[in-house]
């Protein structure tokens, strides 16, 4: 019995040692992710600012305009929101449902004035008073938008993130073509990531092979050459590409000097898709080279001799003997580069211009500029799901245990 007790207590102590780690993961990983995912479906801002109006609207049948009582509640809550300085936040959110409503909501309390009491001004109804300020108060869509904005839980952001919209009648459908931006952006991100991964593979495979099969001195030099950019600040590397590729940059200057390109027809190689491709491939290349290097180093050089002695031409030996043995490294490198590429932000932001922006740049825009955190969270959540989906697919097709990172 004492032995069992002791074993249990030592197990508990051992488990206790992992607590800081668990806490660290909870604070740095689970909490922000959970917060993000919550924000994509939950938003209580409007619901907290206009609770009674929303309660009244809940009873409304959604046709025509709501009752006079609802108008009254709305007016009083708008006035209170103005005094509590929360009006702007509510107005912004409602405006996202139907643009134009922001000014309507902000100006209504202002026009009502400071000394309006519980009775409508000029002895009329509240409805008349609001309609006098803006005719939109008489529109059914306005009230539907307010009711929609007041939902605590909403699929709105996710629908938005895949270019669907909720129509006034509550159904959802595709947005008008001119406003569909996210699905094309996701697709572009996907193609760029696949393209960058393939480029990294095509460039990285010979490099890794050269590192492994060069003599010991050259091998170290080459490995350092791959690693030095790895240690250099991302910003420096990206800026270097700007210096090289811009219109008056090194590459264009050389091309003009050689007479290949006319001076007034310099090639636009940066601030567009080309810039994004070139800079991202360069930045992500080490993530492809290192797993390949590690796998190639474990393949005995004798295998190629053996294949040759068995009658295989160098091409056959590569295709049948060498390449299949490097597949775990190819898989690891490709997965690593692809997952990093699909969420890449800084490089496209710096060198991508308009046409080279990726989904992460849009997420950043909604986080920092438009402050539509719900939409940003939904976009990010879809990206996360896509990455997890690809990971699962990779596991099914290739097997994650066959992957070798080093």
Partner 1 sequence: MESAMPHVEYRNVQKSYDGRTLVVEDLNLGVNQGEFLTLLGPSGSGKTTCLMMLAGFEQPSAGEILVNGASVHDLPPDKRNIGVVFQNYALFPHMTVGGNLAFPLEVRRTPAAERVERVGRALRLVQLEGFEDRRPGQLSGGQQQRVAIARALVFEPELVLMDEPLGALDRRLREEMQFEIRRIHQELGVTVIYVTHDQQEAMVMSDRVAVFRDGRIEQIASPETLYEEPERAFVANFIGENNLLRACVTRTDGDICDVDTGSGVVRAFDVQGCAVGDDVILAIRPERVGVQPDPGQYANELTAKALDVVFIGDHLRVRLQVGNNDGFIAKIPNIVGHGTVLPGDDVRIGWATLDGRALPPDPSVLQGNTEP
What is the contact surface with partner 1 in residues (CB under 8 A)? 300, 302-303, 305-314, 316-317, 320-321, 324-325
Is residue 211 within 8 A of residue 223, CB to CB? The reply is yes
Environment class of residue 263 by beta-carbon count within 10 Å: exposed (0-12), middle (13-18) or buried (19+)? exposed
* Cβ-based nearer residue to partner 1, 333 or 374: 333
Q: How far apart are CA 165 and CA 169, in angstroms?
A: 11
* Cβ-based nearer residue to partner 1, 324 or 406: 324
- Give me the residues paired with residue 165 across strands: 173
Least Å from the CB of residue 367 to partner 1 = 46
- Give me the residues paired with residue 42 across strands: 153
Least Å from the CB of residue 328 to partner 1 = 10
* Cβ-based nearer residue to partner 1, 88 or 324: 324
Could you tell me which of 191, 189, 141, 195 has the C-alpha nearest to residue 161? Answer: 189
Could you tell me which of 330, 384, 202 has the C-alpha nearest to residue 277? Answer: 202
| Residue 154, both tokens | 């909403």
Could you give the count of Cα atoms lying within 13 Å of 189 in the half-sphere of its Cβ? 27
Residue 42, classed as helix, strand or coil, is strand
Least Å from the CB of residue 215 to partner 1 = 12
* Cβ-based nearer residue to partner 1, 152 or 319: 319
Least Å from the CB of residue 324 to partner 1 = 5
* Cβ-based nearer residue to partner 1, 24 or 323: 323
Least Å from the CB of residue 197 to partner 1 = 23
| CB proximity list for 175: less than 8 A, separation 6 or greater | 163, 164, 165
Least Å from the CB of residue 311 to partner 1 = 5
* Cβ-based nearer residue to partner 1, 59 or 303: 303
Residue 153, classed as helix, strand or coil, is strand
* Cβ-based nearer residue to partner 1, 306 or 385: 306
Least Å from the CB of residue 203 to partner 1 = 25
Could you tell me which of 267, 345, 331 has the C-alpha nearest to residue 295? Answer: 331
Neighbours of 372 (CB within 10 A): 18
Least Å from the CB of residue 192 to partner 1 = 32
Could you tell me which of 165, 208, 196 has the C-alpha nearest to residue 347? Answer: 196
Hey, which bits of 178-296 come out as E strands? none
| Residue 48, both tokens | 């907290």
| Residue 15, both tokens | 């488990």
Least Å from the CB of residue 402 to partner 1 = 10
Least Å from the CB of residue 327 to partner 1 = 8
Least Å from the CB of residue 230 to partner 1 = 30
Instruction: Calculate the alpha carbon distances from 265 to 13, 222, 242 in Å.
Output: 71, 37, 18
* Cβ-based nearer residue to partner 1, 74 or 317: 317
* Cβ-based nearer residue to partner 1, 113 or 311: 311
Nearest 5 degrees, angle CA 112-CA 118-CA 119? 80
* Cβ-based nearer residue to partner 1, 13 or 302: 302
Hey, which bits of 143-208 come out as E strands? 164-166, 172-174
* Cβ-based nearer residue to partner 1, 123 or 311: 311
- Give me the residues paired with residue 174 across strands: 164
Q: How far apart are CA 168 and CA 216, in angstroms?
A: 70
């Amino acid at each position: 019995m004492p032995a069992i007790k002791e074993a249990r207590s030592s197990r508990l102590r051992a488990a206790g040692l992992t607590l800081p780690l668990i806490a660290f993961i909870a604070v740095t990983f689970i909490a922000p992710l959970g917060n993000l995912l919550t924000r994509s479906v939950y938003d209580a801002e409007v619901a907290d600012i206009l609770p009674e109006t929303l309660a009244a609207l809940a009873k409304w049948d959604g046709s025509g305009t709501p009752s006079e009582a609802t108008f009254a509640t709305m007016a009083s809550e708008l006035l209170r929101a103005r005094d509590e300085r929360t009006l702007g936040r509510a107005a912004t959110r409602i405006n996202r449902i139907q643009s134009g409503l922001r000014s309507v909501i902000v100006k209504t309390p202002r026009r009502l004035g400071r000394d309006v009491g519980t009775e409508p001004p000029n002895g009329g109804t509240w409805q008349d008073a609001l309609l006098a300020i803006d005719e939109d108060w008489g529109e059914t869509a306005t009230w539907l938008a307010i009711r929609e904005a007041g939902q605590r839980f909403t699929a709105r952001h996710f629908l938005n993130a895949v270019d669907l919209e909720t129509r006034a009648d509550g159904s959802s459908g595709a947005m008008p073509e001119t406003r569909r931006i996210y699905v094309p952006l996701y697709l572009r991100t996907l193609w760029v990531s696949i393209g960058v991964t393939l480029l990294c593979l095509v460039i990285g495979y010979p490099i890794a092979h050269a590192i492994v099969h060069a003599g010991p001195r050259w091998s170290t030099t080459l490995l350092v050459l791959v690693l030095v950019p790895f240690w250099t600040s991302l910003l420096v590397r990206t800026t270097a590409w700007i210096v090289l590729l811009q219109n008056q940059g090194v590459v264009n200057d050389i091309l003009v000097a050689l007479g290949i390109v006319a001076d007034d027809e310099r090639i636009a190689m940066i601030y567009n898709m080309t810039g994004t491709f070139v800079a991202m491939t360069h930045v992500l290349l080490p993530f492809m080279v290192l797993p390949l290097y590690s796998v190639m180093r474990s393949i005995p050089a004798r295998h190629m001799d053996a294949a040759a002695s068995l009658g295989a031409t160098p091409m056959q030996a590569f295709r049948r003997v060498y390449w299949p043995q490097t597949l775990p490294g190819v898989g690891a490198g490709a997965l690593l580069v692809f997952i990093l590429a699909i969420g890449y932000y800084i490089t496209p932001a710096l060198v991508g211009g308009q046409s080279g922006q990726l989904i992460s740049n849009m997420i950043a825009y909604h986080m920092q500029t438009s402050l539509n955190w719900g939409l940003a969270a939904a976009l990010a959540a879809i990206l996360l799901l896509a990455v997890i989906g690809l990971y699962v697919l990779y596991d099914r097709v290739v097997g994650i245990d066959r992957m070798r990172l080093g």
